[in-house]
Structure 1
Amino acid sequence: MKSVSTILFLLSVLLIVGAIWNTLALKRPGFYPPKQVLKKRASALAGGGGILLLVAIILSSF
């Protein structure tokens, strides 16, 4: 169970870092994907990272 929670923690960190990367890409001028696409992608990555983080915390408590 410890390895599963560790993997989930790592995945949640990767998703949250991806969300931060996409949020910072909104500030860069001339970045290709439209801002609406970047906002949707960042919110999806942050939501997935948050959910995985909660699941990992719950699994690590057992």
Structure 2
Amino acid sequence: MKSATVFFFILSAILFLGTFKYLLAYKRPGVYPPKQVLKKRITALAGGCGICLLVASMLSYFL
């Protein structure tokens, strides 16, 4: 089960970095994907990051 916990922690870190990348693109003026699309991507990645972090925390705490 340690490998599953590590997997979810790594996945949450990757999703966090993706969220940060799109957040920086959202702040720049004149970027190609419209701001609405970037906002949807940011919320999707942040939600996935939160869920993976929650699952990893629960796995590491209970097992």
TM range (shorter): over 0.9
* 1:57 to 2:54 alignment: no
CA distance in 1, matches of 2:20, 2:33: 16
- How many correspondences in the alignment? 62
| TM-score w.r.t. length of structure 1 | 0.94
| TM-score w.r.t. length of structure 2 | 0.93
Flag as ranges the 4+ runs of structure 1 deviating above 2 A: none
How far does residue 29 in structure 1 lie from its aligned partner after superposition? 2.5
CA distance in 1, matches of 2:51, 2:13: 11
Partner residue, 1:13: 13
How far does residue 27 in structure 1 lie from its aligned partner after superposition? 1.6
How far does residue 14 in structure 1 lie from its aligned partner after superposition? 0.4
Runs of at least 5 residues in structure 2 that lack an aligned partner in the other structure: none
How far does residue 30 in structure 1 lie from its aligned partner after superposition? 2.4
Percentage of matched positions with identical amino acids: 60
Runs of at least 5 residues in structure 1 that lack an aligned partner in the other structure: none
Partner residue, 1:37: 37
